[in-house]
Amino acid sequence: MRHTQIQQFVVSASQMAAIESRVFAAGMPVAALMEKVAGLITRRVCELYPDVRTTFGILVGPGHNGGDALVVARELHFRGYGVKLFAPFASLKELTAHHARYAASLGIPQVALANLADCTVLIDGLFGFGLTRPLSGDIAAAVDRINTWQKPVLSIDLPSGLHTNTGAVLGTAVRATRTFCLGLWKQAFLQDQGQDWIGQAELIDFDLPLADIVEVLGTPPDLCRITPQQAIAALPIPRSVTTHKYREGHLLLVCGSRQYAGAALLAAQAARASGVGMLSVAVPESLRLMVVAQVPDALVWGCGETDDGAIAQLPEDLNLADYAAIACGCGLTREPVSLVKQLLEAATPLLLDADGLNILATLDPVPTLRNRPAPTVLTPHPGEFRRLFPDLGAASGREEQSDSQNDPCGNRIDAARRAAQQSGAIVLLKGAKVAIGTTQHPAVWLNPDSTPALARGGSGDVLTGLLGGLLAQAARRHLPLEPVVAAATWWHAATGRLAAAAHSELGADASTQIRYLPRVLQSNDFNDSSDFGF
Ligand SMILES: NC(=O)C1=CN([C@@H]2O[C@H](COP(=O)(O)OP(=O)(O)OC[C@H]3O[C@@H](n4cnc5c(N)ncnc54)[C@H](OP(=O)(O)O)[C@@H]3O)[C@@H](O)[C@H]2O)[C@@H](O)CC1
Ligand SMILES: Nc1ncnc2c1ncn2[C@@H]1O[C@H](COP(=O)(O)OP(=O)(O)O)[C@@H](O)[C@H]1O
Ligand SMILES: [K+]
C-alpha cells in the first residue's frame, strides 16, 4: 500500500526540503536519517555488486549528498570492499566533515581523481537536490573526465549537475548508469532532458511519513506519477454483465488520406483493441473498401475527396451528435481545414492528433479551444506542441531533429501544465516521459515507464485509436476524462515494453504494438510497473 502511494508522488527541490524540515522539526536527528538512507543505499550497492573484490571510487561533495557518500564508503569498507575517496572540497557541511574525519581515521584513502581510474565502479555523491548553480572550474573538469571513463557510475539522489526540477544539465553533469532517487521521485526523473544522465532510475524509500508528504504536496497533489494500479482503475473493466454495445461508447474516427492510408488503419485497429462498443471510421472514399477489409468490425463512412485524396467533407447523413467521442487527425494531411473547424464546433468530446493539430495551429488555437462546447484532448509531439503553443514551445523538449540538445528551459511538466491552463484542453505532450496537462487536480500526470521502442512512425496512431476508444467509453458513462488519458498513456507504454521484451526494441513496430495491446491486461501482476517480468 505504502509502496504504491509513494510511487505516485513527484517533488521539486523546495518541496523535498520542506518535507525533510518537517521530519527534522518533529525530532528525527539529521545524522540518524543520513545513516538510515546511506544504509539502504549500501544494501542496494552490495546486492548489485556482491563480489567483495569490486573496488569503489567515491566522489564526495560538500553537502549532505557528500555525507551520504561518506557513510556508504565507510559501510562498504567494513564489508571488505576496496574504497577510495575523491573529496575535492576544502569546506564541508558540519555533518559531512564529521564523516570525512572518521573515514580518514579508518584509513580509507583520499586520492587524486586520476587514482580512481582503476576502480570498478564509481559512486557519485557530489551534489544532490542542494545544487544551486552550474558546475564550473575544477569540479566541472573532473566530472567531464569521469564521463570519458565509461565506467559504471551509481549516483546518489541525482546525477551531480542535473537540475532537480527540470532535469537540465547545469554546466556539466555526471553520466550515471544508475541513480538512487532518495525518498520521493524528483521532477528531473520525469523530464526527457535528464534521461540520458540518470540511467536506470530507482527509488529508495526511507519512510518519510505520509502525513508530512501530503501536508507539503496537498491532496490531491499537483503532480501525479501514473501507476499501473491507477491506470487499471480508470479502465472500463470489469464490464457490467448486462451491458450492450451501445453502452460501451461509440467512437467516430476521422482519419486517412490517399497519401497516408496506413495511419487510418493503425488508428482503427487500435481503437478496436480499446474495447469500444461501436467504432465508426470516416475516411476518403478511395480508402473505404480497404478499411472494411482490414477492420470488418467498424462501420466505415466513405467521404468526398479532394484532388489530392484528402477528406473534402463528411457525408451529409453523418450526424456528429450520434457519437460519444470523436478522434481526428491520423494521416489527414493539412488540407481538410473546414472539416477540423466543423469538428471543433461539435458538442462532442474531441481528440485531435497529428495533422488535426497542425490544422488547429492555424486556427488561433487558444481561443478556439476555450470556446469549444465539449472537452478536447490534444496529443502533440514537441514539434506540434510548439506550433500550437509557440510561447510555451521552448519548454516542451528537445528539437525533433537534433540529437545533442539540452534545452535549459526544457521543462515539459511546466509546458503541459501551462498549455492546459491556457487552452482548457487536456494536453498530452508526447516523448519518453509523457506529461499530461489538465485543468483539474492533479494538474499534470506523468508516465514513468516506457520504452524507446515506441519512437517510430505509427506509434502515435496507435495511441490515438486506443485513447479515442477509451474516451468514448468514459464519455458514455459521463466519467472524467483526465484519468482515462493517463490510463491510455500507461497502456500504450506498457504495450511497447511488452512488445519490446518479446521482439526487441527494434521489433515493436506499430502493428506489433496493436497485437500486444490486449496482452498487457492479461498480466496478473500490476503491483509495480517493473513487475511485468521484463
Ligand atoms: N538531510 C539529510 O539527512 C538527508 C539528506 N539527504 C541527502 O542530502 C542531499 C541534499 O543535501 P544538501 O542540502 O546539503 O545539498 P547537496 O546536494 O549535498 O549540495 C549542497 C552543497 O553543494 C554546494 N554547491 C551547490 N552548487 C554547487 C556548485 N555548482 N559548485 C560547488 N558547490 C556547490 C552548496 O554550497 P553553497 O551553495 O551553500 O555555497 C552546498 O554546500 C540530498 O540530495 C541527499 O543526498 C538525503 O539522504 C535525505 C536525508
Ligand atoms: N524515446 C521514447 N521513449 C518512449 N516513448 C516514446 C519515445 N519517443 C516517442 N515515444 C512515444 O511514441 C509515440 C510517438 O508518437 P508520434 O510522434 O505522434 O509518432 P507518429 O505520428 O509517427 O506515429 C508517442 O506516444 C510517444 O510518447
Ligand atoms: K549525486
CA dihedral 16, 169, 411, 157 (to 10 degrees): -30
- Same domain, yes or no: 272 and 200: no
Q: Residue 425 belongs to a domain with what CATH number?
A: 3.40.1190.20
Q: Is 457 annotated as a binding residue?
A: no
Distance of CA 4 to the CA centre of its chain: 17
- Contact 431 CB / ligand 2 (< 6 Å): yes
Buried b (16+ CB within 10 A) or exposed e, 283-319: bbeebbebbeeebeebebbbbebeeebbbbebeeeee
Predicted confidence at residue 523, as pLDDT, reads 72
Which residue is associated with the grid cell 506499430?
510
The alpha carbon of 528 and the centre of ligand 1 are apart by a number of angstroms equal to 31
CA distance 120 to 147: 14
Backbone angles phi, psi at 291, to 5 degrees: -65, -40
Asked, for residue 400, whether it belongs to a domain, the answer is no
319 CB-near residues (< 8 Å, 6+ apart): none
Q: Which residues are paired to 155 by β-bridges?
A: 124, 179
CA distance 92 to 109: 17
- Contact 397 CB / ligand 2 (< 6 Å): no
Q: Print the domain residue range for 184.
A: 2-217
Q: Which residue has the higher pLDDT, 352 or 526?
A: 352
- For residues 183-212, average pLDDT: 97
Predicted confidence at residue 394, as pLDDT, reads 63
Asked, for residue 222, whether it belongs to a domain, the answer is no
- Same domain, yes or no: 205 and 331: no
Q: Which residues are paired to 84 by β-bridges?
A: 57
Q: Residue 48 belongs to a domain with what CATH number?
A: 3.40.50.10260
Predicted confidence at residue 524, as pLDDT, reads 55
- Same domain, yes or no: 473 and 359: yes
Check pLDDT > 90 for residue 393: no
Asked, for residue 355, whether it belongs to a domain, the answer is yes
The alpha carbon of 492 and the centre of ligand 2 are apart by a number of angstroms equal to 10
Q: Whose CA is nearest to atom 18 of ligand 2?
A: 460
- Same domain, yes or no: 327 and 445: yes
Distance of CA 283 to the CA centre of its chain: 32
Check pLDDT > 50 for residue 402: no
Beta strands in 158-259 (DSSP E): 178-182, 185-186, 200-204, 223-225, 250-254
- Same domain, yes or no: 19 and 161: yes
The alpha carbon of 69 and the centre of ligand 1 are apart by a number of angstroms equal to 12
- Same domain, yes or no: 146 and 272: no
CA distance 481 to 468: 11
The alpha carbon of 271 and the centre of ligand 2 are apart by a number of angstroms equal to 17
Which residue is associated with the grid cell 517533488?
11
CA distance 337 to 349: 19
Predicted confidence at residue 530, as pLDDT, reads 43
Cis omega (within 30 of 0) for bond into 373:
no
Identify the burial level of 40 via C-beta atoms within 10 angstroms of its C-beta, where 0-12 means exposed, 13-18 middle and 19 or more buried.
Answer: middle
The alpha carbon of 221 and the centre of ligand 3 are apart by a number of angstroms equal to 26
Answer yes or no: are the C-beta atoms of 66 and 130 closer than 8 Å: no
Q: Assign 298 a pLDDT band (cuts: 50, 70, 90).
A: very high
Predicted confidence at residue 422, as pLDDT, reads 97
**pLDDT, tens only, 69-106:** 999 999 999 999 999 999 999 999 999 999 999 999 99
Helix axes 13-25, 30-48, angle to 10 degrees: 120
- Same domain, yes or no: 268 and 211: no
The alpha carbon of 128 and the centre of ligand 3 are apart by a number of angstroms equal to 5
- Same domain, yes or no: 172 and 139: yes
CA distance 352 to 326: 9
- Contact 454 CB / ligand 2 (< 6 Å): yes
- For residues 381-400, average pLDDT: 78
- Same domain, yes or no: 232 and 206: no
- For residues 336-356, average pLDDT: 98
Cis omega (within 30 of 0) for bond into 390:
no
- Contact 230 CB / ligand 2 (< 6 Å): no
Ligand 2 probe mutation, 459, 511, 517, most atoms within 8 A of CB: 459
- For residues 11-22, average pLDDT: 98
Q: Is 134 annotated as a binding residue?
A: yes
Number of neighbouring beta carbons within 10 Å of residue 387? 16
Check pLDDT > 70 for residue 475: yes
- Contact 344 CB / ligand 2 (< 6 Å): no
Q: Is 263 annotated as a binding residue?
A: yes
Q: What percent of the chain has pLDDT over 90?
A: 93
> What is the DSSP-derived secondary structure letter of residue 118?
T
- Same domain, yes or no: 202 and 267: no
**pLDDT, tens only, 214-236:** 999 999 999 999 999 999 999 99
Asked, for residue 242, whether it belongs to a domain, the answer is no
- Contact 451 CB / ligand 2 (< 6 Å): yes
Ligand 2 atom index nearest CA of 457? 22
- For residues 394-413, average pLDDT: 53
Going across the sheet that includes 55-60, the strands are: 82-86, 55-60, 121-125, 153-156, 178-182, 200-204
Check pLDDT > 50 for residue 181: yes
Ligand 2 atom index nearest CA of 463? 25
Answer yes or no: are the C-beta atoms of 92 and 100 closer than 8 Å: yes
- Alpha-carbon distance values, 310 to 39, 114, 135 (Å): 63, 63, 53
Asked, for residue 243, whether it belongs to a domain, the answer is no
Asked, for residue 468, whether it belongs to a domain, the answer is yes
Predicted confidence at residue 531, as pLDDT, reads 40
Asked, for residue 465, whether it belongs to a domain, the answer is yes
Which three three-digit cell numbers place residue 394?
521552448
Check pLDDT > 60 for residue 409: no
Predicted confidence at residue 396, as pLDDT, reads 61
Which three three-digit cell numbers place residue 343?
469538428
The alpha carbon of 457 and the centre of ligand 2 are apart by a number of angstroms equal to 8
Predicted confidence at residue 134, as pLDDT, reads 97
Predicted confidence at residue 4, as pLDDT, reads 87
- For residues 180-196, average pLDDT: 97
Residue by residue, DSSP assigns 366-412 as HHHHHT-SS-EEE---HHHHHHH-TTTGGGS-S-TT-SS---TT--H
Ligand 2 atom index nearest CA of 458? 23
- Same domain, yes or no: 350 and 488: yes
- Same domain, yes or no: 192 and 280: no
Total number of domains in the chain: 2
Q: Which amino acid is at 305?
A: E
Answer yes or no: are the C-beta atoms of 269 and 465 closer than 8 Å: yes
Q: Which residues are paired to 180 by β-bridges?
A: 156, 202
- Contact 109 CB / ligand 2 (< 6 Å): no
Q: What percent of the chain has pLDDT over 70?
A: 95
Ligand 1 atom index nearest CA of 127? 17
Q: Is 461 annotated as a binding residue?
A: yes
Q: Assign 399 a pLDDT band (cuts: 50, 70, 90).
A: very low
Q: Is 506 annotated as a binding residue?
A: no
Check pLDDT > 60 for residue 400: no
CB under 6 Å to ligand 1: residues? 20, 30, 33-34, 37, 61-66, 68, 93, 127-135, 139, 156-157, 182-183
